[in-house]
Amino acid sequence: MGTTNSSEKPLPLRRMEDGVWEVENSPGHWIKCETEDDARTISNAPVLSEKSHNAVCPDQTTAAELEATANVLEHYSIGWPSRFFRYRARVLRGEEPNG
């Protein structure tokens, strides 16, 4: 399930000494995550976004990945990207984007 020829890369991750996982979403700005899975989901968001633009409609698998990522982003109050991922999920499911 890899993305060959992907120009997007995952966001940097780090695990702090206290075990907390963080994702760098912009230079010097780290998001603290509750779990490693959450951190990996947020980190992989740019790759998934590109994958969604290369997907052939309908693509239920990628739509499910987008929806799951949207849920994690929303949990961490990352609003605009969360809404974008939900929109892309609807598009890939063949749903009316504005409905």
Residue type, 25: N
The pLDDT, as a whole number, for residue 3 is 43
Q: Rounded to a whole number, what is the distance in angstroms from the first to the last CA of the chain?
A: 31
Q: pLDDT higher for 5 or 14?
A: 14
| 14 sits in which H/E element | strand 13-15
Whether this prediction's pTM lies above 0.95 is answered by no
Reference 32, options 20, 40, 42, 41; nearest CA is: 20
Phi, psi values for residue 37, rounded to 5°: -60, -45
pLDDT tens-digit map of 39-91: 999 999 999 999 998 887 788 999 999 999 999 999 999 999 999 999 999 99
- C-alpha distances in angstroms, 53 versus 11, 28, 57, 72? 18, 28, 10, 20
Inter-residue contact 20 to 27 (CB < 8 Å) = no
